[in-house]
Amino acid sequence: MTPETVSTIMSEAIKLALMVGAPMLLIGLIVGLSISVFSAVTQIQEMTLTFVPKIIAVFLALLFSLPWIIEKLTTYTTNLFNNIPFLIR
């Protein structure tokens, strides 16, 4: 196994991790930003106001994107396992 193949496998794994984590992070960012704007406009300074909607939104995003995440992870793992004989040479 050459250093180029190792770096290719690692870069694909990092891209996959970023792609899989992006929906939850973006939903959390959007909800957090909107709650912060609402909090600034109404001058409500309650700390739990930001956490509960964000947790619910991230959970719902995870729930809806879970089939896609599982498909991406199983495809990557299957391709990696299928390429093991070619990587050993």
Lookup: tokens for 49: 């106001």
State the maximum Cα–Cα separation within the chain, in Å, rounded to a whole number.
Answer: 64
Tell me the domain boundaries of the chain. 3-88
CA–CA–CA angle 24, 28, 29 (5° rounding):
120
Closest of 55, 56, 57, 39 to residue 47, by C-alpha: 39
Q: What pTM was estimated for this model as a whole?
A: 0.80
The letter for the amino acid at 23 is: P
> Pick the residue with more confidence: 3 or 60?
60
Q: What is the pLDDT of residues 7-47, one digit of tens each?
A: 999 999 999 999 999 999 999 999 999 998 988 898 887 77
